[in-house]
Amino acid sequence: QPCPGPPPQPETPAPSPPRETWAGKYEFLLSCLGYCVGLGNVWRFPYLCYRNGGGVFLISYFIMLLGMGLPLFLMELSLGQYGAAGPITVWKCCPLLRGVGVAMLIVSSLVSLYYNVIIAWAFYYLGSSFQSPLPWSCDAPNNRHLCQVVTRWGRVLQNVSASADWVSASEVFWKERVLGVTHSSGLGDPGPVRWPLALCLLAAWTLLFLCLLKGIRSSGKVVYFTATFPYLVILILIIRGATLDGSLDGVRFYLSSDWSRLQSAQVWSDAASQIFYSLGIGFGGLLSMASYNRFDNNVIRDTLIITIGNCCTSFFAGFAIFSVLGHMAWRRQVPVGSVVDSGPGLAFVAYPEALSLLPGSPFWSILFFLMLVTLGVDTLFGNIEGITTAVLDEFPALRSWRRKTALLGVLCISFYLLGLLLVTQVGGPLRPAPGTPGEVTGAPGGAPAMTLPLVPTGVGQFCRDIVDMICRCPPWCSHMLGYFKLCWAFFTPCLLLFTLIYTFLDMYSKPLRYGSYEFPAWGTSLGVCMGVLTCLQIPLGAALALGRESGTLSDRFQKATQPLNSWRTATARDAAEDVIDVPFTITLTGSD
């Protein structure tokens, strides 16, 4: 009889596919820059400059950048790069704060839900821009009853009616043709889905799905276009605007200084909120994108490049906006302030109307709305990447291409179906304007997110971790770390606390409005519940972490703040995807 063979061995599960990494440092920089430079840079920052004293607002803006923006941005990038994990898994370094990651995930989901609706609006306008004349211009046959054209001193003017209820052709197009809000009686009367917008929303989610199909390998290539094209359009609009009559009046209006405004708390709150939202801090996107970096990437250098580039973009975009608005005011023979608006009113009413007055208006309109699409898509890259990274880190078996594609497809389909509520006749008021804390529905992606960076952090240990990553730390990096350490320990928490308190007081001290429509009490309560749901994840996560431990409350707290054994050692991170079973603090401070 032949000798029996060895006993059958139990099958071992196949190892999970390894984590991706960026193909090059420029892809990471462009992805982060595209994520930060969004719609708020174009339609909110210029208006805030005008509303808060013009050039004086830049003082408060850059002070908030130095005291709050830079430190928080570096904190999120460093945490993601060191831990090489998404918004939830990265909190293995401190299980007590795992709820922060869950809150980030909720915020990113809510923001993604409404942000892509704005891209759908931009798609709708982009498709309409291929008509001549533009359907929101006075030259369109359907708008002749709204516009009476006369000539005065050689200028073609739109004769604005003296009636107080007069509306422009572009506003009629926005409210009737796009939103359909004139057919709804209020929040309790949503009406049917507007199918042209539903198709545009489907196109927006399909575009995102295709761009993110291969993760950062595909999105990292797309950003070479989507992150750079807006700069080309802004430059073209600045050059074109400089040649228009009345453009200097618009620029002068943009930068006019009112030094007394620095005494107002509203100015500092607006500067802080603009920094916070423009940089995308606390949403998990930055943390997720940084988790795909090499361990020794110079995160301080990247922080300076991205934040300064983002803020400069906001400033120079104002010249492109106000030069054209100044020309529209010149054509109408009205003050520049009467044609200035903020948020969707600027991007979809005032500026399109100004573009319709230019020769070759369809061309300029196509450029502008294509820029809005690329700005929005870039921002959503980071949000969706943060969500998928969080899920894949919790369930590594999903990292195979097929399962990851299925996950991405389920997310996009789910967001699309939920987003149909925002393309009904009441969808415009339901959607919070990005970059405005608490606007319209309590800002699900707004003020609650400000509480996330307030969690305590071991500042000294955190600085040593950054030095471990950079290894050969240049002298200027060491000096910068001293500055960041001071900010993390004192200045940043104080500024965040001021912004948080002022935002909530301002948000709930007066009724929420959308134009002349005042929201009912139940609508305001719904927005508050969204914010509370996000904030509750932090104490709930802490309670669950304490419940898993044993001993007295003090013992449980001490154990819940210690890193898990699966937290990756710093020295092995780049060599292999290994984990060790030694305390985290010994690993980090062994070189000390």
Q: Which residues are annotated as a binding site for Na(+)?
A: 34, 37, 41, 278, 310, 375, 378
Helix (H, G, I), strand (E, B) or coil at 155: strand
Q: Mind giving me the DSSP string for 467-483?
A: HHHHSS--HHHHHHHHH
User: Residue-wise over 105-121: b if at least 16 C-beta within 10 A, else e?
Assistant: bbbbbbbbbbbbbbbbb
User: Facing residues of 149 across strands?
Assistant: 158
293: helix, strand or coil: coil
Structure tokens belonging to residue 264:
């107002």
**DSSP-derived secondary structure for 315-326:** HHHHHHHHHHHH
DSSP per-residue letters across 407-438: HHHHHHHHHHHHHGGGGBTTHHHHSPPTTSTT
* Nearest-angstrom CA–CA distance, 66 and 61: 9
Q: How far apart are CA 318 and CA 16, in angstroms?
A: 48
Tell me the torsion sign for CA atoms 434, 436, 441, 443.
positive
| 8 A C-beta contact, residue 344 and residue 433 | yes
C-alpha distance from residue 587 to each of 257, 405, 481, 583 (Å): 53, 36, 21, 7
Residues 185 and 37: their CA atoms lie apart, in Å, by 36
**How far apart, in Å, are the Cα atoms of 202 and each of 39, 117, 119, 130, 162?**
20, 10, 10, 20, 42
Residue pair 348/265 in contact by the 8 Å Cβ criterion: no
Helix (H, G, I), strand (E, B) or coil at 146: coil
Position 133, amino acid: P
Please report which residue ranges of 65-194 form alpha helices under DSSP H: 70-83, 98-128, 169-172
Inter-CA distances, 391 with 310, 387, 453, 535, Å: 29, 6, 21, 20
Question: What's the gap between Cα 381 and its chain centre?
Answer: 10
Binding residues, as ranges, are: 34, 37, 41, 278, 310, 375, 378
Q: At what angle do helices 459-470 and 475-486 cross, to 10 degrees?
A: 160
**8 is written with which tokens?**
């059958």
Summarize the chain as % helix, strand, coil (round to 5).
70, 0, 30
Measure the CA–CA gap between 44 and 42, rounded to whole angstroms: 6
Structure token digits, residue 564: 């898990």
Nearest to 186, CA basis, from 445, 426, 16: 426
Q: Whose structure tokens read 């994108």?
A: 289
Tokens 């912004």 -> residue: 499
Contacts with 220 (C-beta within 8 Å, 6 or more apart), sequence order: 22, 23, 24, 27, 28, 30, 31
